[in-house]
Chains A and B, each alone.
Chain A
Amino acid sequence: MIRPDKSLLYYPRMPATWWLRKWSYFLFIVREFSSLFIAAYLVLFLVQLYQLGNGAAAYSTFTNSLKSPGWIVFHAVVLVFAVYHSVTWFYTTSIVIPLRIGGKEIPRAAFTAINIAAWIAVSAVVFGLYLLQ
């Protein structure tokens, strides 16, 4: 294979703002950054478990502090990112593990919809159990 003279090539550089050039790139970056919000929530969850170990009074004080507007906004933001991240994972699942029925691969959108429907159903059951407490 004849190779070109490397000293004469022009090497383009990707700008730091590449993710703003296309909507799909932007959504990709949002998906990646959503992991940070989920990680932040998990840290908070670990703190919650730690407070649970400190006794009922400490746990109650901690959960009461979560009722402040700042924490409610935090949870709402995390929820939005968690839902978005989860939906992208359900879509990815349909790509990674193609579902076949009767020898034919079902459309990815349908598989994703089945996943999301199952997710909503399980969430509804969990929420129902919470209400029955």
Chain B
Amino acid sequence: MPEPTITLNVSRYRPPDERVPTSQVYTIPYRPDWVVLDALNYIKDQVDGSLSFRWSCRMGVCGSCGMMINGEAKLTCSVFLRDYHPREILVEPLENFPVIKDLVIDMSDFLDKLKIVKPWIIRETEKPTSEGEYLQTPEEMDAYMGFSACINCLLCYAACPIFGVETDFIGPAALALGYRYNQDSRDEGSNMRWNVINDHHGTWQCTFVGECSVVCPKDVDPAAAIQRLKVDTAKHWIRSVLLPWGKRA
């Protein structure tokens, strides 16, 4: 009995020889317990060492192996071949990003956006360690914990048509992280984030397609974070305009 096989149709882009992506078909042994990343590694190791893609942890933690699988943004370490077999699997780089080579995207634009959101705890004054930790109640933790699981896999950007059309849009993951730190009771830096979040390319560019939350492998729900940021920025603006002490609020 012949060994079962599965076919992967993989996007290739090899500059400077190629100026547009092409596709290459690989037929490899089918293993029902393999994920798509295993199949790509089999191709890399046994069939075609020139194929380029990112990966690291193989367990949905590092966020490196995001790709388009049959048109859907997925972590390739989390989708099994058995979910597609015997159909062909189309593997492409994440949508809406420039492609460096094959399945490797350029994420430097995202890293720039992440930086300007200041996704870290900002304190006006640090208290000395002798005074102990910054304590939080369970309710204070609940306010941000759901938004803190982002692994920067960029699936949300690949699923966001607004980012596809307006690449200046800060985007779901960066805004969700901005919201996460604004909600943190230990943080005092929300005023330093408002100008970025409230910018034309910030939260208001989102028209709530909602697909970012659908594809998020960590259930971060960036769509909710952005809609709540809209409410927060509106309240912040009203305070700063109407109330004399608003700018300090």
Contacts and interface: CB of A to CB of B under 8 A. Distances in A.
A17 to B, nearest CB: 11
Interface stretch (B23-31, B81-89, B203-211): B203-211
Interface in A1-56: 1, 3-4, 6, 8-12, 14, 18-19, 21-22, 24-25, 28, 32
A92 B208 CA distance: 9
B231 A96 contact: yes
Contacts of B13: 10
Contacts of A95: 223-224, 227-228
A103 interface: yes
Contacts, number: 66
Interface stretch (B46-54, B94-102, B179-187, B235-243): B94-102
Given A1-B111, A96-B228, A25 B209 contact: yes
B236 to A, nearest CB: 15
Contacts of A92: 208, 227
Interface stretch (B14-22, B120-128, B192-200): B14-22
B211 A22 contact: yes
Contacts of B214: 24
Contacts of A22: 71, 211
B227 A12 contact: no
Interface string A75-106: 00000000000000000100111000001000
B102 to A, nearest CB: 10
B223 A4 contact: no
Contacts of B209: 24-25, 28
A112 to B, nearest CB: 13
Interface residues of A, number: 23
Nearest to B225: A95
Contacts of B71: 21-22
A11 B211 contact: no
Interface residues on B, range: 20 to 34
Contacts of B106: 3-4, 9
A1 B114 CA distance: 13
A18 B164 contact: yes
B133 interface: no
A10 B161 contact: no
Nearest to B161: A18
A4 B108 CA distance: 9
B108 A10 contact: no
A14 B164 contact: yes
Given A6-B98, A10-B98, A24-B214, 10 more contacts: A4-B100, A9-B15, A9-B99, A9-B106, A14-B95, A22-B211, A24-B211, A28-B209, A95-B224, A96-B230
Interface of A: 1, 3-4, 6, 8-12, 14, 18-19, 21-22, 24-25, 28, 32, 92, 95-97, 103
Interface of B: 13, 15-16, 19-21, 71, 95-100, 106, 108, 111, 139, 161, 164-165, 207-211, 214, 223-224, 227-228, 230-231
7 contacts: A1-B111, A3-B106, A4-B100, A9-B106, A10-B98, A19-B161, A95-B223
